Structure 1
Amino acid sequence: MITSPTSLRRSERARRAILLAALDLCTERGYGRVTVEAIAARAGVSKKTIYRWWPTKGAVLLEAFTEALVDATPFVDTGDIGADLRTHVASAVKLLSVPPFGPAYAGILSELHHDDVLAKTVKEQLVDPRVEEALGRLRAAQDKGQIPPHADLPLAVEMLYGPVYYRHVLRKPVQDEETVAALVAHVLRSLRAPGY
């Protein structure tokens, strides 16, 4: 049977139910014990529905995590690059420090080592777009003279995010406001931003 585009179109209500079910199960059982079968049962949909839209449970949880991260960590421009980066990084730290998002993302990262499709999806749907947004915010600061024109902005992005994800993956203590402020100040100093 040939499936029509209409039959493949996602029901937003079912999509939301699936994402919520996946996150709830991840909190209750841990990433490793979540299955597509359990997600389907909790969401009140068939496994076929899930597999029509996502290839694996990792892809389901990635979509849920990405939506939450984008909503929680906008790249605002108040005119103060230091304050904006502190707010942004602190929001990412906060999201990663609580269930279901922290455990879900740790589980996704663990899958990357043996799931090339998921690794590619994480890069294309989460990492690359967020890096581009971060670069855009840094370029805006550069245009205003807050960051020197010769600064290595891609390296600055890695310096900002690297410690956040390093601490998350190794389950080190969560960065507090003071630590985030010190990180942002260090990165801006390394770029020789005026005032840092």
Structure 2
Amino acid sequence: MLRGVSSPRKPNPARRSERSRQAVLDAARRLVSELGYDKVSIEAIAARAGVGKQTIYRWWPSKGAVIFDSILALSADGESIRLPDTGDLEADLKTVMRATVAEFADPAFEAPVRALTLQVVGDPGLAALYREKLSGPVDEAKKERLRSAQRAGQLAADADLDLVLEVLYAPLYQRWQLRSGALTPEYADRLVEITLRAFAPCA
């Protein structure tokens, strides 16, 4: 090799693959927001992302799986899911619920999630994927925070934690799905306060 002359740097396949994967996820999320779930196709996602259709099928088995992962990537940071635990259950839940309300009120998040939610209702395979990769791990993280509150005497020791989560979140999901009211920080706070009163430890 001649001194002072370096050989061309070889492309990194892993880096190129990750760029392609992110391009696919971004394309899927944007298309479902623009067109709605039914009008989005694998071909359209591939064209928008600048990749071949087979590249998508190498990573995902279906359109639903691509769109699901594109939405999951909005909030995924590669770390395990944990809720804040400052020792003050009410403050911690209000932080989480305010963040949830803000997310559902954000058009960039709301449109693709609404489209995906409709598909989950009618697609058992997609519903199973949703439970495995998102709702299951998130619910377990929430319940771990509630168990900590039970140990601290801030929540009834015999409270059914699945029911606690339903009381806390179901009104929010209904308001969002039916567009029946504003999603505000004040609304999030009221849901926390009502839930904690319902499951307060016995005096």
Structure 1 length as normaliser, TM-score? Answer: 0.85
Indicate yes or no: 2:99 matched with 1:91.
yes
Structure 2 length as normaliser, TM-score? Answer: 0.83
- Mapped to 2, the partners of 1:60 and 1:33 lie a distance apart of 14
Report if aligned partners of 1:148, 1:191 keep a CA contact under 8 Å in 2. Answer: yes
Relative distance call for 1:173 and 1:69 in structure 2 (3 A) is: farther
Q: Which runs of 5+ in 2 are unaligned?
A: 1-12
- Mapped to 1, the partners of 2:201 and 2:167 lie a distance apart of 15
CA-to-aligned-CA distance 1:54-95 (integer Å, 9 cap, x gap)? 122221121122232455x95111221111111111111211
Name the Cα RMSD after superposition. 2.4
Q: Which runs of 5+ in 1 are unaligned?
A: 1-6
Relative distance call for 1:70 and 1:183 in structure 2 (3 A) is: farther
1:33-182 correspondence runs (5 A): 33-70=39-76, 75-182=83-190
- Mapped to 1, the partners of 2:44 and 2:182 lie a distance apart of 31
Other-structure match for 2:197: 189
SS in 1 for 2:87: coil
Work out the number of aligned pairs and report it: 187
Report if aligned partners of 1:152, 1:191 keep a CA contact under 8 Å in 2. Answer: no
- Mapped to 2, the partners of 1:106 and 1:154 lie a distance apart of 23
Report if aligned partners of 2:94, 2:189 keep a CA contact under 8 Å in 1. Answer: yes
TM-fit CA distance, 1:138: 0.6
- Mapped to 2, the partners of 1:177 and 1:41 lie a distance apart of 39
CA-to-aligned-CA distance 1:81-114 (integer Å, 9 cap, x gap)? 1111111111112112222321111111111233
Other-structure match for 1:3: none
CA-to-aligned-CA distance 1:146-176 (integer Å, 9 cap, x gap)? 1121122111011112112112221233321
Report if aligned partners of 1:95, 1:102 keep a CA contact under 8 Å in 2. Answer: yes
Report if aligned partners of 1:26, 1:100 keep a CA contact under 8 Å in 2. Answer: no
CA-to-aligned-CA distance 1:9-67 (integer Å, 9 cap, x gap)? x9222111111111122232233322211111111111111122112222112112223
Report if aligned partners of 1:156, 1:187 keep a CA contact under 8 Å in 2. Answer: yes
- Mapped to 2, the partners of 1:174 and 1:96 lie a distance apart of 11
Report if aligned partners of 2:43, 2:53 keep a CA contact under 8 Å in 1. Answer: yes
- Mapped to 2, the partners of 1:77 and 1:58 lie a distance apart of 34
CA-to-aligned-CA distance 1:162-193 (integer Å, 9 cap, x gap)? 11211222123332111111110010111115
Higher-Rg member (1/2) = 2
SS in 1 for 2:107: coil
- Mapped to 1, the partners of 2:73 and 2:92 lie a distance apart of 20
Relative distance call for 1:145 and 1:17 in structure 2 (3 A) is: same
Report if aligned partners of 2:154, 2:200 keep a CA contact under 8 Å in 1. Answer: no
